[in-house]
Amino acid sequence: MYEPEITVITPTRNIVEAGKADDFTLLLNMLNRQTYPYVDHLIMDNASTDDTISLLKDYKNSGYINFFSAPDTGKYDALNKGLIRAKGKYVAFLSCDDFYHDITGLADVVNAMEANNADFCYFPSYCVMPDGQAFLFEPAVYNVFQVMPFPHQACVFKKDTLARLGNFDAKFKMFADYDLMIKLFLNKCHGIYFDGCIVTYQISEQAKKHPTQVKVECNHIYYQEFRHLFPLNENQLDRMVEIAEIPKPLLDKLATCFPGDEKIFYERYEQMYNMRLEAAERARQQERQRNG
């Protein structure tokens, strides 16, 4: 019986110095316990200068991983280089401090993708905050054109589908994964939902630390991906980023990405827009109180 391989790609950089060696060990041990037998773990290291290379060599010699170490221009450049080397029909992406907590998860997801000839499969995930608190992240695919619908860790992709879309656009240093999600839905790729939480991931603080870059990248992503559908001006782009407001002509075109579910799409859009609008107003009131 044919069973396709899945390649899990992990970028690394000085993880020993960063105190993440134990997290990385947990990732490897949980991946090694997966019941699906055809898993290849590929590490793309960004020319680490601490003891990371020695650690990776030990794990490679023990049969846990394959790894390559060379300079890259960021996480998404590393993932793209990993995609070139990946042998699997399917690919997934985990950082060094993420892990699959359900040992049957990959088997279940791959079987579902094979049965449905899916381009990608998304699922709930546990998100761990910097203070250690965790919450369940339920996918919100109908809001994909307003916010990240699910983390890239909570998805398995068909490798050929990503290649057709151009993989990650590595000029986006923080949100290339969001750009990719938008492309998946704009191109009407066949995605399926798996009703099982199989992964735990650590949320990055980079977006909080660099709000200006976040806004610039989101603005650029919206312009790049939607300009062929509607001529967005600067004010419209800013409102899309700040309060999730999409111009009606563009919204109507985006609704066609969810054939048969247009009503749900409009309802979820309105909910998200109102929520972001209220949050923006609260922020303005707090700012006035601080300055008052």
- Report the mean per-residue pLDDT for the chain: 95
pLDDT of amino acid 210:
80
Q: Output the CA torsion sign for 276, 195, 262, 159.
A: positive
Tens of pLDDT, residue by residue over 195-221, are 999 999 999 877 678 889 989 999 999
What's the pLDDT score for residue 41?
97
Asked if pLDDT for residue 123 goes beyond 80, the answer is yes
Label residue 290 by pLDDT band (50, 70, 90). Answer: confident
- What is the tens place of the pLDDT at every residue in 16-46? 999 999 999 999 999 999 999 999 999 999 9
Q: Averaged over 248-254, what is the pLDDT?
A: 98
Separation CA 268–CA 262 (nearest Å): 10
pLDDT class for 287, splitting at 50, 70, 90? confident
What is the chain's percent helix, strand, coil content, to nearest 5? 45, 15, 35
Percent of the chain past pLDDT 90, that is, above it, reads: 88
Residue 288 — pLDDT band, cuts 50, 70, 90? confident
Separation of alpha carbons 271 and 83, rounded Å:
36
Query: What are the pLDDT digits (tens) for 159-178?
Result: 999 999 999 999 999 999 99
Strand 134-137 vs strand 125-128: parallel, antiparallel, or unpaired? antiparallel
**Which pLDDT band, with edges at 50, 70 and 90, does 284 fall under?**
confident
Calpha distance 110→93 (Å, rounded)? 15
pLDDT of residue 17: 96
Quick: pLDDT tens for 53-91.
999 999 999 999 999 999 999 999 999 999 999 999 999
Could you tell me which residues are beta bridge partners of residue 191?
A: 120
Which pLDDT score is estimated for 292?
66
